[in-house]
Amino acid sequence: MAEISSKPHALLVPSPMMGHLIPLMELASSLVTHHNFHVTVVVVSPNSSPELSKVIQSAKTKKLYDIVELPAPSSGHVSNMAGAVFTNLAALMLDAISSLRSAISVLEVKPAAMIVDIFGTPALTVAEEFHMLKYVMVASCARPLTVLLYAPVLDTQIQGEYLDCEELLEIPGCKAVRPEDVAKPMMNRKDREYGAYLRKANDIASMSDGIMINTWEDLEAKSLKAMREHPEWNKILKVPVYTIGPLFRSAGQSSGGPTTPRSELLDWLDKQPKESVLYVAFGSMGVLSAEQIIEMAWGLELSKQRFIWVVHPPSKRSGDKGNDISEYLPEGFMARTHERGVVVTAWAPQSEILAHSSVGGTLSHCGWNSSVESILNGVPMIAWPLYAEQTMIATQLVEELKVAIKPKELPTKAVAGREEIEMLVKKIMEQKEGDEMRARVKELKASGEKALSKEGSSFNMLSELSRLCKINTEQQGQKV
């Protein structure tokens, strides 16, 4: 007990969504391992997702930090997360508030700070009640955050749909944004998701004592400088911005954790030549259309490259086939490619796969966690954005960071044909352009590692958080 109370205590409240839970748990590990924090992670029980439960179980086994599970709210908002996250998760986190309050009131050591993800801002009112410092941790990177935070201003400046704008969207001090790159909630201003998105922007900017972003200074210097220094930004953002990334799971930390037997996939990878395998995956929620699955399969086959393809049946429509993925693949595909390709229909041990030396490229939906995992493993990408803010991240990876290539048309707009996929795969796996991207991504990997290292920019930002938490603990102690 004495040991615990001498450390700053942080309470992390991730919303039950894989792309948010994983980086917040990584933050918890980093605070404990490198910054001498005592951490309690409070999770809303994700009764809808066995994979989320596995991640939580795995963290419990490691015993690095405390985990408190709140009962799942009965209202069932968790369905269709890819469709309406801003509306559904906000409602779910709001429902969880009273059980969160009860959970905090029985903690032996009162936390000095609460850290939520962007969907958890309702919980910050509870942090206020307990005199905690309040932080929002952004699981994505800085550029989509600038668009989210600036959206309430764009809302007053622009008439009609953003997608119909002929000009680029100007964000002060930042690179202008193509209308087609905006996040999904901005694509239909009449949808209630758009209203929830704008409210979220206001909450993030006004409710916290600081915003933490899973990025690092050298990666997004321009956006970060704008948010901190530009006079227009000073009007909307009055709290500090901390870069604390890259937070990512390195090999050995996949959901099954250390007790899971080593996957057959990894044994298969062991037998493949160095950097010869393309890893194709679309995150925790991405699905392709039936037509796109056929074209992807042909593209992979025609490319003659080795691959691991994580693929799920398309979302159900009337007339669709069943849940067996082979019904959606071209006839004979598995037999023709089995020597050089593996099709995975379950949850894949992605962090181990991307860290494996046989993997030389990835075709990815550009979720930020997957993008960071690719960068920190030195793996270049074919960008295949599908939902949320992924199109903006794809543009950033391709045009600014130059570690990815992408199809001519956005995958959300048109089906990419087999010849184009074959060309993209060959380019990344066996041509000069792929080698150049591989060299560039390794430079980014080094800059990310430097940010995390002792006295690196992200390390120093978390040290500052530790200092602020200690001051808060002292001040609260004096009041008692």
Residue numbers at the binding site for ligand UDP (CB under 6 A): 18-19, 22, 249, 254, 281, 283-285, 310, 347-348, 350-351, 367-370, 373
Residue 369 Cβ, how far from ligand UDP at the closest point, in Å? 3
Catalytic residue among 9, 77, 117, 203: 117
The residue behind tokens 């942080």 is 10
- Cα gap 280→284, rounded to integer Å: 13
95 catalytic per annotation: no
Catalytic residue among 9, 20, 35, 77: 20
Residue 247 or 416 having the CB closest to ligand UDP: 247
66 catalytic per annotation: no
Residue 316 Cβ, how far from ligand UDP at the closest point, in Å? 19
Residue 152 or 314 having the CB closest to ligand UDP: 314
Residue 362 or 466 having the CB closest to ligand UDP: 362
Amino acid at position 239, single letter: V
Residue 104 or 310 having the CB closest to ligand UDP: 310
Residue 71 Cβ, how far from ligand UDP at the closest point, in Å? 24
Residue 370 Cβ, how far from ligand UDP at the closest point, in Å? 3
Residue 261 Cβ, how far from ligand UDP at the closest point, in Å? 16
Residue 448 Cβ, how far from ligand UDP at the closest point, in Å? 15
Residue 237 or 410 having the CB closest to ligand UDP: 410
Residue 254 or 472 having the CB closest to ligand UDP: 254
Residues 6+ apart with CB under 8 A from 155: 189, 198
Phi then psi dihedrals of residue 434, to 5 deg? -65, -45
Residue 156 or 259 having the CB closest to ligand UDP: 259
Residue 118 Cβ, how far from ligand UDP at the closest point, in Å? 12
Nearest residue to ligand UDP on Cβ basis: 19
Task: Give me the active site residues, please.
Answer: 20, 117
